[in-house]
Amino acid sequence: MEHRIAEDLHLRSTINVLSTLGLAKIVWHCPLYRDAACEPPGGSRPNSDRECQPNQKIPPKSGVPMYSSGPEELSANTRHDDDFEVVRRLLDERYSCRAFRPDPVPRDAIEKILATAQRSASWCNSQPWHITITESEGTERLMRTLYEHASNEAPQEPDFAFPREYKGAYLDRRRETGFQLYSALGIGRGDKAAYTRQALENFRFFGAPHVAIITTDEALGIYGAIDCGCYVSNFLLAAHASGVATIPQAALSSYAKVVRRELNLGVDRRMVCAISFGYADEGHPANSYRTNRAPLEEAVKWITA
C-alpha cells in the first residue's frame, strides 16, 4: 500500500511538471502515464483498457478517485510548490550556449517547443511574433551571407535601435560577462584581435544547426517587440526542458535587411532577434561558465504608503 501511494504521488508530480511546461501531450503516447494524462481536473482514473484522448473525461471504473490516499493526498499548495520549483530549476539551469554540436534537432521536437512557446502572453492577445526557422542548407546559406557582411564590417542597420550606451551597473554587468567568456576561452585582456574573432562567432551561429528568426509586425512598434520578448523567454525554457540548448542573439539583427532578403520575409516584418539552437557541445570551454544575476534589492522597489 505504501509503495502504491508513493508511486501515485510521483506520477502526479510528473504530470504536474509536464502540464506546467505545456508538454503534457507527450505522455499520451507513453503507456506508463497514459491513464494519468487523461485525468480531468478533479477527475478520476480512467479505465486502463480504454484508448486515451487529449482532454477526454472518462468516468472512473469503480467510482474510486484516482488519488484517494487519505491524508497523503497532495494539497493544491503542494502542487503549486512543485510547479514553482520546476520553473525555478529551469531558470537556474538554462544558459546561453556558445558552442553547438552539428546534429540537427528532429522536426517533431522543434514543433513541441514552438507549440509550448505559442502559449505566451501578448498585449490584447495579438500574438505578433512570426518565427522563421532554418535547417540544413538553409542554415549554411544564411550563415555564409551574414558572416561575410560582418567580416567585411558592412554598415549595421537594425530594425530596432541598439542601446545608445551602457553605463553604471549595466556596463559593469556587460564587462563581467565578456570577461567570463574570454577567460573561459583563454583570451587575454586587451587582445582585440581575439575579441573580434570571437564576436564573429555570432554570425556562425556558434555552430548551431538551426536559427529561429523572430519578427513582429511593423505597425505594432515597440510593443510588438515586447510581446516577442515574452515569446523568446518561453521558447528558451521550453527548449531547455526538451534538452535543446539555445542562445538569443541581437547581433544577427544588425543586418535585418539582409535577413529579410535572404529568407524572403515581408517588408512589413521587423526583426527583433534570433535564437540559435541545437545540442550543446558540453565539453567546449565557451559553455563552462555561468553568468550572475543581480540581487532583488537592485531590481525591485516596494511602495508601502
Mean pLDDT per 10-residue segment, the chain (305 residues): 46 46 38 36 39 42 42 71 94 98 98 98 98 98 98 96 96 96 95 96 98 98 98 98 98 98 97 98 97 96 96
Judge if 132 and 271 occupy the same domain. Answer: yes
Clarify whether residues 234 and 113 are in a common domain: yes
Q: Structural domain of residue 23, as residue ranges? A: 1-93
**110 and 254 fall within a common domain:** yes
| Alpha-carbon span 108 to 117, nearest angstrom | 14
- DSSP conformational letter for 257: H
In the chain, the amino acid numbered 195 is Y
The Cα 52–Cα 50 span in angstroms is 6
Final residue of a structural domain among 43, 75, 93: 93
Q: What are phi and psi for residue 91, nearest 5 degrees?
A: -65, -40
The x, y and z cell numbers of residue 228, run together, are 516577442
Domain shared by 11 and 57, yes or no: yes
Domain shared by 19 and 40, yes or no: yes
CATH number for position 293: 3.40.109.10
Residue 305 lies in a domain: no
CB 128 within 8 A of CB 228: yes
Residue 278 and residue 144 share a domain = yes
Q: Contact 296/240 with Cβ under 8 angstroms?
A: no
- Cα separation, 130 vs 77, whole angstroms: 37
Same domain, 109 and 247: yes
Q: Are 233 and 152 part of one and the same domain?
A: yes
How many of the other CB atoms lie within 10 Å of CB of 191? 13
- Spatial contact of 101 and 281, defined as CB atoms under 8 Å apart: yes
Q: Is residue 210 part of a domain?
A: yes
What was the pLDDT predicted at 142? Answer: 98
Q: Report residue 111 as a C-alpha cell.
A: 514543433
**Residue ending a domain, choose from 45, 74, 93:** 93
Does a structural domain hold residue 200? yes
Whether 97 contacts 246, CB under 8 Å: yes
Which phi and psi (to 5°) does residue 251 adopt? Answer: -55, -40
The pLDDT, as a whole number, for residue 77 is 81
Give yes or no: residues 156 and 200 share one domain.
Answer: yes
Distances (CA, A) of 1 to 6, 24, 60: 9, 27, 20
Q: Rounded to 5 degrees, what angle do the CA atoms 284, 287, 288 make? A: 90
Residue 163 lies in a domain: yes
3 state SS of 278: strand
What are residue 211's DSSP bridge partners? 276
Answer for the pair 278, 244: CB distance below 8 angstroms, yes or no: yes
Q: Specify if 83 maps to a domain.
A: yes
What's this model's pTM, rounded to 2 decimal places?
A: 0.76
Triad 247, 240, 35: Cα angle to 5°: 155
Q: Same structural domain for residues 60 and 86?
A: yes
Same-domain check for residues 87 and 102: no
Residue 304 included in any domain: no
- Total number of domains constituting the chain: 2
| Domain assignment present for 303 | no
User: What is the distance between the alpha carbons of residues 218 and 224, in angstroms, rounded to a whole number?
Assistant: 8
pLDDT at 298: 95
Which three cell numbers, joined as nine digits, stand for 14?
Answer: 510528473
Using CA atoms, how far residue 13 sits from 2, 95, 102, 288, in Å, is 17, 25, 34, 31
Report DSSP state, residue 62. S
68, 93, 118 — which closes off a domain? 93
Cβ atoms < 10 Å from Cβ of 210:
21
Residue 106 belongs to some domain of the structure:
yes
DSSP H helical ranges for 44-168: 76-93, 107-117, 137-151
**Pair (29, 150) in one structural domain:** no
* Sign of the CA dihedral with 254 first, then 260, 263, and 265 last: positive
